[in-house]
Structure 1
Amino acid sequence: MFKGTTIVAIRKDGKVSMAGDGQVTFGENTILKHGAKKIRRLYNNEVIVGFAGSVADALTLSEMFEEKLEQYGGNLKRAAVELVKEWRNDKILKKLEALLIAVNKEVTLVISGNGEIIEPDNDVIAIGSGGNYAMAAALALRYNTELSVEEIARKSLEIASEICVFTNNHITVESL
């Protein structure tokens, strides 16, 4: 499990929101940064990507994914497949340790360097050290409250930050 971040994505009422915390952790016990932004808008603001894992690795993969989105006209699934093919087959890239969640208005994907591209069954998915906490909170809020998708994303990260020492409450939320 990657330490140092939590990312959650939720779909509800035709909208999708992604939230991420801002903590960057060095080793097991040193916080280097509180307000990092681990969520980015790509491809003319039509795609949101959140990443967990090694910061440098995640940024490298995010940039590569942006290139694939440009190359394939914003087709999220095709860009993900091409990214994973390159990620798995390149001697240097396959050592990168990161996970990505990528969303557009229609699709949610979890992308890993092990070759997985997963389109979750649920309207909720999360990654990172606090991912299970955020996902449980988001599922409960998604199906049992009238909160907006943005409120669910923020609140689920707040809950995760109260449980996971690698997650903080400096939260960024992006929505489509």
Structure 2
Amino acid sequence: MQASPSAHGPTPWHSTTIIGVHRGGKTVIAGDGQVSMGNTVMKPNARKVRRIGEGGKVVAGFAGATADAFTLFERLEKKLEQYSGQLLRATVELTKDWRTDKYLRNLEALMIVADGENLLVLTGNGDVLEPEGGIAAIGSGGNYALAAARALADYEQDAEVIARKAMAVAAELCVFTNGNVTVETL
């Protein structure tokens, strides 16, 4: 989670590593639980990965400001309802709104979302990105987790094993990421 520093506001929020791995017909999104403010851990067990949509058929993980992420979860759920659970269509419509709506444009978050077929990264720039090789990571420890997962992908076939090991590497290297991991599997 990260917020812009303000001359009148609190210290910037940092933390979060979210990874998504799609492999062998299985999709996993995992995220750590640490919320930090400056050099202080404010909460060690936040839940940044959750199931959304009808029947929990979509899994989403966020990195960014918590309130902004909740706003995006709610908006994505509405889009999923509007487009009959079609994740790709719902995400494209959400990112259009995110990019063009004056209020949404100021939200500071990234999301990884998945259903049984798609693994996508959503940004406030209007991007809906399908990651190369079925592996995506975001957040302050995202690059560590991504590098670890890509290295593991040549030797490991199980998406959950890759995600958990990559999260462990990120937790060792990124001070804003802890080992309290939430994993959701499709």
Shorter-chain TM-score bucket reads over 0.9
Give the equivalent residue in structure 2 for 1:159.
169
1:86 is aligned with what amino acid? D
The SS at the match of 2:98 is: helix
The equivalent position to 2:103 in structure 1, one of 92, 102, 105, is 92
The SS at the match of 1:144 is: coil
1:18 is aligned with what amino acid? I
Number of matched residues?
174
For residue 130 of structure 1, report the CA deviation from its aligned partner.
Answer: 0.3
Give the equivalent residue in structure 2 for 1:75.
86
For 1:90 and 1:49, the matched residues in 2 are separated by: 22
| RMSD between superposed Cα atoms in Å | 1.3
Give the equivalent residue in structure 1 for 2:126.
115
For residue 139 of structure 1, report the CA deviation from its aligned partner.
Answer: 1.2
1:103 is aligned with what amino acid? A
1:39 is aligned with what amino acid? V
Would you identify which runs of 4 or more consecutive aligned residues in structure 1 move more than 2 Å? Answer: none
What TM-score results when the alignment is normalised by the length of structure 2? 0.90
For residue 121 of structure 1, report the CA deviation from its aligned partner.
Answer: 2.1
For residue 29 of structure 1, report the CA deviation from its aligned partner.
Answer: 1.1
Runs (5+) with no aligned partner, structure 1 = none
1:163 is aligned with what amino acid? L
For residue 122 of structure 1, report the CA deviation from its aligned partner.
Answer: 1.5
The percent of aligned pairs where both chains have the same amino acid is 53
1:37 is aligned with what amino acid? R
Give the equivalent residue in structure 1 for 2:51.
41
The equivalent position to 1:142 in structure 2, one of 136, 150, 153, is 153
For 2:23 and 2:118, the matched residues in 1 are separated by: 13
Runs (5+) with no aligned partner, structure 2 = 3-13
What TM-score results when the alignment is normalised by the length of structure 1? 0.95
